[in-house]
Structure 1
């Protein structure tokens, strides 16, 4: 299906054409002015933009420039009443792909779309070549910072490739992600132990001391933790915030396993998981449910240890309604640090496979990013962030880990009490293919707690997920292509952390 955006201040007069296109299988969104059209373009992926040249306010040429700045490869047809040569020359200089002169017929409109659909196929081939060239000519990553840049390069191309829906491009992208994740996994194998000793990037348990508590010395600070937010999602949200505030984005590395019980407990406690168990055994939970039930207590102990003498507050919110209830408390003058855990994105990714409508809408990562942006803009969060920065408060926005779509199953063998997670397991007598998973027979080497001296850990690499040998086909069918976290991959471990200040 070809997805179109039609921007025209006389859109009501064009309804017969729009209905006709929809009957022929085209997906058409409309806007009656340039700013609204740009807003739609920023939140969705389109194959083609039909753009009126003569609009009140922002002209078609101005909108065209903005569109091409965001995506030079998107196809644009200029719809105009003018055949004057200067206009055509100016528009072509801005890489307009075709013209449609008013008045036009349905046959003329369809002819333009057919020409551009053919051109789109050629563009898709060129984009694929540019993608491979950009990655192949980039220097190979050697350290953490190099890997952050490589990940951002991959994410930057993800949206461009997703716009074309070309099966060959999708295949190229999936294979390249797989190669990069496998190489990143080898890098983590070599370096992670030294990182735990302090020789490496910021890890989960160091986020508050390095990115949050120093801000509290300057002014009241709010830490927003968007559970399971990846870097590509953050890059879609960042421009919304930049409209009213200054944003500085960095990245940290999630602890392994890259899942909430380890990464966020570590973040709140300021300790590695095994250190939490040793210092506060009553605050570490081994059961499958409620493993983060003691976060507020861990945060309180963390602040007490570092000599934080101010008041703090801790909240959780899973919906817009819950955020609204919290909003009024965030400007409390007596509170120096406020931590808000927002769980909507985590709930979303775990609902996709089980909800047919969501599964159809979120067909790929680009669609997920677009949905994230729509959710964020319609949630209370932008207004909350605006209010905080407007009152001279700092806001730090981060996540506890990312996630990825799992595609390849690998069998795991072990005892009956093995944990249920798909990307990591702990329990007795674990056996896995070590090309596909990291096996830890001594979990303490990676500062991981276990409830038995004979327990091991297995952490899946790349896009693998664990299945049991008893019903392998059933497990594969149930969980393939679902979003999961807890493993070793770029999207799960490279986590954005952004500081937002008043402009």
Structure 2
């Protein structure tokens, strides 16, 4: 077992011999000094794993010593020991970045626990996390044999995300391989669940045993908020935001908001911006959009941007429900557009509804596919989440949320679909008019192995536009991505381990809907 070195500075260090002997017997090596200046000298000469500082030493006080040690060696954990419970002393010590503090009189066990909390925390947390996941592993695996509904799948996915984030924080990550296998097993079973139920959900809208879908979000969740009072509502869509990415940025948001409601909802198929996000803003499934909004809807085989008319879709939906209200729509792709929203906040508050669409996460996933440097920065899911966290921490979106929190403005935060790390190629053959998406294909005379894919042979049953008489849709499951036989090896090498969307997986389909209340 590793032995740790502790420096203890106290002007009555001789009286602390019982404590020092106690810690020595527990496996710690203690160096005692009786002044702040001696503590500084020892820090220059030797390396220590933790330092105990008495706050009330003659000459250089504990607070002064703390400040100088932090300048000399900023990463050494420091525990302040004080007789005083005065608030200003505590604030000064906390402001100087102490790691813990103890109030006299202290006992040996208090000291031991303080040391363990700092020095053995990672090991203890790792052991506890791994043990707890091992206990939950069996429960999750057994659930796959049950007749689960959509709520059960949401619970399973939440658990998997929770353990993913927890295990990633542990020191040795020894259970990550087991968790990855369980996530794969979960996606195999989730695909079967979607294959068995998705078509029924769409064709039985009065069925209570189904989740909220993309096209129902505004009607079921946004409109009721508009009718509560006269206060403005901000409806924010962060494109391509997975549930695990939301859980990463939630602690930042928690400084300014309480989460009033969190409902992971289900994206429609295909899980892409052109379909899922347009469904949110139009309140319709894609085949309905193609029929009723033919002037602004574009099919896969038509030239032009597929999401250039979201504001028009939303205006038409609001009018359909008798909501003739003042609204704004802003799509933020560049930082300057985000800053413009902040500069214009005062004017936006005059609107009943303000819609903000942030495209950064979607751009990140595409950049990771196309740019070697971004692939290096985000080689896997934890790194991908980390990039999202870093972006959000310094984004105009966070600045906007801070301002809205100060003004006590209602905020609804959601997304249109998630994304999955595509690892396994799946051969498919289509003509030149077949769409290019890697997770779903739409076209005629498609040739493929029917295993591990969902085939919408009759697109109308899936409320999808039927571009040609023989058109069908094919959706990839789990972590598969479609690849053409031509130039197959180059294609596979280029797209393997990239984050894609459009198909069927927990990561793409079960996504966050959040209602935030300012603190």
Q: TM-score by structure 1 length?
A: 0.78
**How far apart in 1 are the matches of 2:365 and 2:44?**
36
Find the partner of 1:402 among 418, 423, 426.
418
The 5 Å alignment of 1:176-191 reads 176-191=182-197
With 422-431 and 119-128 compared, the bigger mean Cα shift is at: 119-128
With 256-265 and 427-436 compared, the bigger mean Cα shift is at: 427-436
Which position in structure 2 is the counterpart of 1:319? 334
Which position in structure 1 is the counterpart of 2:254? 242
**How far apart in 2 are the matches of 1:122 and 1:220?**
48
Do 2:164 and 2:176's aligned partners in 1 also have CA atoms closer than 8 Å? no
Task: Please give the secondary structure, in 1, of the residue aligned with 2:370.
Answer: coil
Find the partner of 1:210 among 193, 215, 220.
220
Do 2:413 and 2:513's aligned partners in 1 also have CA atoms closer than 8 Å? yes
Find the partner of 2:477 among 446, 454, 461.
461
C-alpha distance 334-16 of structure 1, shift in aligned 2 (>3 A): farther
**How far apart in 2 are the matches of 1:205 and 1:389?**
28
Do 1:61 and 1:91's aligned partners in 2 also have CA atoms closer than 8 Å? no
**How far apart in 1 are the matches of 2:237 and 2:120?**
45
- Partner deviation per Cα, 1:388-421 (whole Å, 9 max, x = no partner): 2333421100000000101111101222211100
> Offset at 1:88?
3.0
Structure 1, unaligned runs of 5 or more: 1-9, 19-32, 38-48, 66-82, 100-115
Task: Please give the secondary structure, in 1, of the residue aligned with 2:512.
Answer: strand
> Offset at 1:353?
3.5
Which position in structure 1 is the counterpart of 2:94? 58
Task: Please give the secondary structure, in 2, of the residue aligned with 1:335.
Answer: coil
**How far apart in 2 are the matches of 1:51 and 1:137?**
43
Which position in structure 1 is the counterpart of 2:294? 281
**How far apart in 2 are the matches of 1:182 and 1:16?**
58
**How far apart in 2 are the matches of 1:268 and 1:145?**
25
Which position in structure 1 is the counterpart of 2:275? 262
**How far apart in 1 are the matches of 2:134 and 2:197?**
33
> Offset at 1:63?
4.9
Do 2:281 and 2:310's aligned partners in 1 also have CA atoms closer than 8 Å? yes
Find the partner of 1:448 among 449, 453, 464.
464
> Offset at 1:97?
4.6
> Offset at 1:228?
0.2
Do 2:79 and 2:99's aligned partners in 1 also have CA atoms closer than 8 Å? no
C-alpha distance 137-468 of structure 1, shift in aligned 2 (>3 A): closer
**How far apart in 1 are the matches of 2:143 and 2:446?**
39
Which position in structure 1 is the counterpart of 2:503? 487
**How far apart in 1 are the matches of 2:197 and 2:150?**
9
Which position in structure 2 is the counterpart of 1:91? 114
Higher Cα radius of gyration:
2
C-alpha distance 297-173 of structure 1, shift in aligned 2 (>3 A): same
The 5 Å alignment of 1:338-353 reads 338-353=354-369
Which position in structure 1 is the counterpart of 2:140? 135
Report the aligned-residue RMSD: 3.4
Task: Please give the secondary structure, in 1, of the residue aligned with 2:375.
Answer: helix
Structure 2, unaligned runs of 5 or more: 1-38, 48-65, 81-89
C-alpha distance 50-278 of structure 1, shift in aligned 2 (>3 A): farther
Which position in structure 2 is the counterpart of 1:293? 308
**How far apart in 2 are the matches of 1:63 and 1:228?**
37
Query: What is the aligned length?
Result: 433
**How far apart in 2 are the matches of 1:141 and 1:343?**
37
Which position in structure 1 is the counterpart of 2:388? 372
C-alpha distance 185-374 of structure 1, shift in aligned 2 (>3 A): same
**How far apart in 2 are the matches of 1:383 and 1:487?**
33
The 5 Å alignment of 1:353-364 reads 353-364=369-380
Q: TM-score by structure 2 length?
A: 0.75
- Partner deviation per Cα, 1:298-342 (whole Å, 9 max, x = no partner): 111111111111111111001332111122334434311111110
Do 1:432 and 1:458's aligned partners in 2 also have CA atoms closer than 8 Å? no
C-alpha distance 476-89 of structure 1, shift in aligned 2 (>3 A): same
C-alpha distance 128-247 of structure 1, shift in aligned 2 (>3 A): closer
> Offset at 1:220?
1.1
**How far apart in 1 are the matches of 2:43 and 2:329?**
52
Which position in structure 2 is the counterpart of 1:23? none
Task: Please give the secondary structure, in 1, of the residue aligned with 2:434.
Answer: coil
With 190-199 and 472-481 compared, the bigger mean Cα shift is at: 190-199
**How far apart in 2 are the matches of 1:467 and 1:319?**
32
> Offset at 1:383?
2.6
**How far apart in 1 are the matches of 2:97 and 2:339?**
40
Do 2:78 and 2:100's aligned partners in 1 also have CA atoms closer than 8 Å? no
Do 1:405 and 1:484's aligned partners in 2 also have CA atoms closer than 8 Å? yes
> Offset at 1:496?
0.5
Do 1:412 and 1:466's aligned partners in 2 also have CA atoms closer than 8 Å? yes
C-alpha distance 14-382 of structure 1, shift in aligned 2 (>3 A): farther
Do 1:229 and 1:402's aligned partners in 2 also have CA atoms closer than 8 Å? yes
Task: Please give the secondary structure, in 2, of the residue aligned with 1:283.
Answer: coil
Do 1:396 and 1:497's aligned partners in 2 also have CA atoms closer than 8 Å? yes
- Partner deviation per Cα, 1:25-65 (whole Å, 9 max, x = no partner): xxxxxxxx99xx9xxxxxxxxxxx96332395339999579
- Partner deviation per Cα, 1:464-493 (whole Å, 9 max, x = no partner): 100011222111111110000011011100
Do 2:237 and 2:357's aligned partners in 1 also have CA atoms closer than 8 Å? yes
